[in-house]
């Protein structure tokens, strides 16, 4: 189970799909499964927040360009 959590964390850390994320395995041995799940949950929330923020920003830009065209 730890290996699956670690892989999910690596995917969440990656910026692009092809990014290769290396995490020191000995470092990760110190974390319990619960801690790894918490890390994953935090990363998911942060990624969602970034996406929401980007969508709001893009919506605002779009509205401004519509105003400028008039």
Residues spanned by the domain of 57: 2-69
Which comes out higher in pLDDT, residue 65 or 38? 38
Checking if the pLDDT of 21 tops 80, the result is no
Q: Share the mean pLDDT of the chain.
A: 82
Q: Which residues of 30-39 are buried (b: 16+ CB within 10 A; e: fewer)?
A: ebeeeebbeb
Give the pLDDT confidence of 27-60 residue by residue, as tens digits. Answer: 877 899 999 999 999 999 988 888 778 777 788 8
Q: Is the pTM of the predicted complex or chain greater than 0.75?
A: no
Number of domains in the chain: 1
Averaged pLDDT, 18-31:
78
- Whole-angstrom Cα distance, residue 21 to residue 31? 18
pLDDT of residue 44: 92
């Amino acid at each position: 189970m730890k290996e699956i959590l670690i892989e999910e964390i690596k995917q969440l850390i990656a910026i692009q799909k092809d990014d290769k994320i290396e995490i020191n395995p000995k470092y990760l041995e110190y974390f319990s499964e619960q801690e790894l799940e918490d890390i994953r949950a935090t990363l998911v929330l942060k990624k969602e927040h970034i996406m929401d923020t980007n969508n709001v920003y893009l919506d605002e830009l779009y509205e401004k360009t519509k105003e400028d065209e008039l």
